[in-house]
Each structure stands twice: as C-alpha cells, then as structure tokens.
Amino acid sequence: MIPRYARPEMTAVWSDKNKFDTWLQVEIAATQGWANEGTIPQIDAQLISDNAQVNSDDVITYIEETHHDVTAFIRSVSESLGEEGRWIHYGLTSSDVWDTATSLQCIGALDLIDRSVSRLKEEIKQKALEHKDTICIGRTHGIHAEPTTFGMKLTVWLTEIGRHQERLQLARKHISVGQLSGPVGTHASIPPEVEQTACNFLGLSVADATTQILQRDRHAFLINCIAGLGGSLEKFATELRNLQRTEFSEVEEPFTENAQTGSSSMPHKRNPELSERVCGIARTLRGYALTALENVPLWHERDISHSGSERIILPDAFGLLDYALDILTGVIHGLKVKPERMLENLNLTNGLVFSSKALNYLIESGLPRQDAYKIVQTAAMKSHHDRTDFRSLMEEDEIFRKQLNPQAIDEIFDPHSYLVHIDETFRRIGLI
C-alpha cells in the first residue's frame, strides 16, 4: 500500500519479513508432522524448531538469482541450520507453503479489520444515541420526504455494519484452512497425517480436497466481503458528503481551524475531503473484487495467473479497507452536527412534508382515499408553486376543517408526531 494510505500494523502483516516468517512457521509445522510420523528424527525437528531463521533481505537478494521466491527462501533458512536443514521443505511443493501461510496472513489482517470495524461501530452507536431525537428531514430521491432523526439514520448504518461482521466471520472460516498435499494434491509426497498435524500446529483446518493450491473461491469471497464493506463505507461517506453541501450544511467533518486548508486558491473552502477519500477507496476495492473472481478459474490443477494479482490485491485490499475504516471512524467521532440547520431545512417547503399525515388523518375520518388524496395534493401543489404555507391552504378547505378537529390538525403539523416509534427501533437493535 502507498505510504499515504498505509497504517503500520496492517503494513507489517503484509511485509516481506512477515511473509517469510510465516512461511517458516509452515515449514516448521511440517517438520513437526514428519517427526510425529517417525520420518524425521525428533532431534532434527527440535533443532529446526529452535534454530531455523530466515533473513528477508537475503531472500530478496537470492530471488535475483533463482527467480523463484520459495527456493530463495529455502536457501536462506538452510543457511541458519546444520545437517538438519535437509528436512526443510521435505515432501512439499511451493503452494503448500505459500497458500497455507497466506491463510495465516489473512487471519492476522482480519483480526485488525475486526478491531477497526468495532471501533467504527462504537462511534456510530454513540452518535446515534446522542442524536436519537435530533429532528431532521428525511429525503427520498434527493427530495424532502418526511421528518426523521439523525440518530435514526445512524441506526441503519449500525445494522448494516453488523451484517458485514457476520460475512467477515464466514470469510474467516473459509480462509482459515491450510494444505500440505504435494504437487497435485494427492499426498503422494506427504501423507495426510503430516498435513493434519502441521495444520493443527498452525491453528488451521485442513482443506478437504485440494489440487496444488487452495481453491480461489475462498479468496474471492473474502475480497468480495472486503469490497462489500467498502461499499457500505462509501454509502455512509456519501450521505455525509451530501449533508455537508453548502445548501444543506447539516453536518461538518472535523476541520482544524487556522491550520487545515481546503483549497490552494479559495481560503474559505471546507471540503468533505475525508469522506471523498473513503468513496475513492471503496471504488478501488470493487475493482479488486472483480480481479479476485477472475482468479477462480485456473488451468487444470493450477496455473500461476492468480499469483501476480494476489501479490497486489490481498495486501492492498486489506490495507485500503483498514485505512478507510480509520478515516471514517475519525470523521464520525469529530462530526459536527447542526440541529438548528436541520430544522431550518425541514421547514424549507412551508410544511409540505406533513402531507402524508394529512392524507392519513382524512382517510381515518371516513373520507374515501381518492377524495382525501385530491384535497391534499391540490393544496400541496399550490403551496409548492406559490411558496405559500401548506397548513394555511389545508385549513382553507371546508371538508378538511369539517372532518378534523383542531387537536388533530395540530398533530398533523407537529414533526414529533412522526417520531413516536423511534425508541422501538433503538430497542430492537439493543441501543436502549
């Protein structure tokens, strides 16, 4: 990941050093399996466990000669051992090590993502509770619809994040597997018992059936889960971007006064650049999801067409998601919410947003729906075109005045009457 979008912990998971260290874990696990079967002397397995090391700088240097990552890695590890070094990579093929280690790296990266998702969820939860009763206009098709609350908006985000957490847990299950099954998965050079012992040692399940590789539907599902979460982050960020538009001005991203700048030419600018950054990252993640899907169909027992792209999409997808989660968490934490501006915007249409309740009350009073709809729409269209008060126009209608008493009319035009069941939603998702 480019340094601007990189966070240290996630970068460490996908570093060359950690990759080769993880390969070494797999190699050590294999020797433990062989020792249990009696093929490798226990003393040699112990020496390997105690002394085996890999120098990532040396591996990179050796790759220039071998043009092969794993043989360069084996050479470096062997240099740290004595005669027992001959057992390193015994019976294995490169993908046994690479794919099993990649699963471990993915699990480590998922641990970081899980913590970041939980932090974002907590920030949204706190903002939702804080603004449970902060009235604002709800919009459909970008047009004023009915009153809602800012907290109610955020409850939808919370439940959406919860579904992504479930998907990521399933992706973790699918990727928490290893294989040490030899060149075409037949265990001709390494028995299933060694594979089982090694995977147990690493905390992985054994893939039930393999070729030379773990099948890439696992990785495609994982990357698509990452892209799916990114899509929701973009959805949240897009809403925040729209609410920051000058014409709306209902929220503001954190902005460091007297230090931060929004434009090189316009000193007044306070752009929603953090939310925009999240949106751009999400689009990149969707591209990686497509690449991961294209890695599923490989030739025969395997080819290497998936390998080159995975060197990019796995670390970058995890890195970008981790960064986007951190950015959006900071935005939510420092978000400035403007209740007064929200009320101003709610009242922009001179009461038109209360039309549905006026319709429902007329129907409840006994008026046929079509007749009630006509009365309300006639007043609404006149209010819209003439920019006049909708309530006043409704009260000029004789049928409306006759059908409804003053208390009912007051309820129609009270935004709080739309929100009497908000608490139930908060209870349903466990916030109150």
Active site residues: 141, 263
Please state, in angstroms and rounded to a whole number, the distance separating the CA atoms of residues 296 and 302.
10
Dihedrals phi, psi of 336, to nearest 5 degrees: -95, 115
DSSP designation for 430:
T
Please state, in angstroms and rounded to a whole number, the distance separating the CA atoms of residues 390 and 382.
8
Bridge partners for 177 per DSSP: 205
Tokens 């433990």 correspond to 32
DSSP designation for 115:
H
Tokens 């971007």 correspond to 241
CB 198 within 8 A of CB 29: yes
Instruction: At 347, list the tokens.
Output: 């009242």
Helix axes 217-243, 150-175, angle to 10 degrees: 170
Please state, in angstroms and rounded to a whole number, the distance separating the CA atoms of residues 251 and 243.
6
Length of the chain: 432
- Tell me the C-alpha to C-alpha distance, in Å, between residue 128 and each of 299, 305, 307: 50, 46, 43
Instruction: At 48, list the tokens.
Output: 């390997």
Q: Please return the burial class of 402, using the count of CB atoms within 10 Å of its CB with bins 0-12, 13-18 and 19+.
A: exposed
Tokens 């509770």 correspond to 129
Helix (H) or strand (E) holding 141: none
C-alpha angle 308-309-315 in degrees, rounded to nearest 5? 110
67: left (phi over 0), alpha (psi -120 to 50) or beta: left
235: left (phi over 0), alpha (psi -120 to 50) or beta: alpha
Please state, in angstroms and rounded to a whole number, the distance separating the CA atoms of residues 118 and 169.
13
Please state, in angstroms and rounded to a whole number, the distance separating the CA atoms of residues 81 and 46.
12
b/e sequence 38-56, b meaning 16+ C-beta within 10 Å: ebbeeebbebbeeebebbb
